[in-house]
Amino acid sequence: MFRTLKMYFDFANKVNRKKLLTAMLLGVLKAMFAMIKIPAIATIIQGILEENMSPATIWTSFGIMCISIAGQVIVGLKTTMLQTEAGYNTCSGKRIEIAEHLRYLPMGFFNANSLGRITNITTNTMEQLADVATLVVMITTQGLVTTAVIFVFLAVFDIRIALILLAGILVFSFFNTMMQSATRPAAPRVAKAGETLVSAVIEYIQGIAEVKNYNLTEKTARKLEDAIKEKQAADTKMEFTVIPYMFLQGLATKLTGVLMCIVSVYFYLTGSMPLLYAIIMTISSFMIYESLDMMGGFSALMRNVNIIVDKANEVLDIPPMDIDGADIVSDSMDIELRDISFAYEDKKIIDGVSVKIPANTTTAIVGPSGGGKTTLTNLMARFWDVGSGEVLLGGRNVKDYSFDCLMKNFSFVFQRVYLFEDTIANNIRFGEPDAPMEKVIAAAKKARCHDFIMSLPDGYDTIIGEGGASLSGGEKQRISIARAIMKDAPIIILDEATANVDPENEAELTKAIEELTRNKTIIMIAHRLKTVRHADQIVVVADGKIVQKGTHEELVNEPGIYKDFVSERQEAVSWKIA
């Protein structure tokens, strides 16, 4: 238990840790206010026993009771406020910390397998941190503090009864430690089941159109149902593991209170304890029962604190890329790859690639699917670090740049565009949140999307669905280009930007790309002949290597992948229905 409490306090930042410690100190004060009820009761009992009850005695007891209740309410309110602030601030702070950490992880970390894990941690896990973990920690620590105060109080009056309480606390702690140890092996299964369930839900929702299209609703629903059942089974097993220890904890708590009462009465009957003290000890036994029972009921949830902290730290402990470079302003935007290689896990993706891309030129990267084209552009922008070799920008290794400084030099237009559930204006000004509306409109006009935006009900204030679900592919691409125009980076990477666009949108999209790429260094991945034929150089990539390099005129006259590529495209264009 104490290990878990320490883990949680270490997890919180300095400000929130101070609030939690202040709440604990106030908990001591609250326990002391609770304890002064006993002198009030003792005053009344003493007056009854001595048969000299007077109005002064009654008013004195009443005054002590009022102080006790008022003190508990005021201190309890302040304690609750501190706990709440610390819990929710820790939750929001860790979400931001995780988000910042994710920015600098290699892109290879972000795959289908990690999506459910990341989503589960940043949503469910952090929500439990705010709603459950802080409450559990503070109630448990409050129970410990109250018990300690009662122990000191009893030790002052009668050390024998205090030792009985100490023995009961030790037995309670023994069963609690056994419970924590018993639940530890089951915790990974519970965590894994939660991640799998979130992944299954995301996959089911995102792929619902394909599921219905191929009539796989039953099969896909079964996969989701299996994930739900596994989560149910994991949680149920965890609870069944806890129940016996909860019973033993409760039994130890009850027996401690009962034993304190019985022994107090015995000491009174044998003449070794005054009647007033015996009554005080009996009252204290009920208070200690309430304190230990409250602590025991929530201590079973301490395992959640372990899981929450461990899962958040798993992400935060993943080594980020070295991002502490310098804020370099380069005079040249030349890019050079020097004998670079890259492997993802055990699979080699790029193998000994060298190429120069002069500033203000257009380089087209073509080749078979899976050959390493996209990986090559990701290495240029340092989404991943190369395994060997160097990537140079302006004659400097990209690792010499701070990551944020490096990113200022690149804009991307991907085949799959992601737009956020926000206004169109905010999606365009995504990289420059404070940009004036005039600049947003100017970028939209250059990207050829102003007219269709103005045709929408709320114009630039129209809220688009998550991922841009309410827009067509061409419309999303043009908004993405407007976003890139706003950034005005000197290097533009186009990854199949026009691959899935219908002919009606293609003309507008081509004009938008022309506006974006004017006087820029352009690196494009494309399969369309008319897109690549006017490039200053064409790089053919296959199996992670550059197998051909040159202009269209040079490559079309030599045997190889590019010539085959051109022949296939020309044959496809000339094909017609007889």
Per-10-residue mean pLDDT, the chain, length 578: 70 80 81 77 73 74 83 85 81 82 73 64 74 72 78 84 87 83 78 77 68 61 82 86 84 86 88 84 78 69 72 79 77 88 83 89 86 86 87 89 85 78 86 85 87 87 73 80 85 73 64 78 80 84 88 85 77 52
Question: Token digits for 77?
Answer: 């309110």
Give one word for 543, left, alpha or beta, with left for phi > 0 and alpha for psi -120 to 50.
left
Query: What's the confidence (pLDDT) of residue 297?
Result: 65
> In sequence order, which ranges of 215-320 are alpha helices (DSSP H)?
217-269, 275-299, 302-316
Q: Tell me: the pLDDT tens digits for 227-243?
A: 888 888 888 888 888 88
The CATH code for residues 328-409+527-578 is: 3.40.50.300
**Domain locations along the chain:** 2-316, 328-409+527-578
Query: What's the confidence (pLDDT) of residue 139?
Result: 74
Q: Model-level pTM?
A: 0.62
Task: Place domain 2-316 in its CATH homologous superfamily.
Answer: ABC transporter type 1, transmembrane domain (1.20.1560.10)
Give how far Cα 434 sits from Cα of 139, 409, 425, 429, 446, Å: 44, 20, 11, 8, 20
Query: What's the confidence (pLDDT) of residue 577?
Result: 47
Query: What's the confidence (pLDDT) of residue 178?
Result: 85
Query: What's the confidence (pLDDT) of residue 339?
Result: 92
Question: Token digits for 501?
Answer: 């666009």
Query: What's the confidence (pLDDT) of residue 578?
Result: 45
Q: List, in order, residues 6 or more apart from 188 with CB less than 8 Å away.
A: none
CA Rg, the chain, in Å?
34
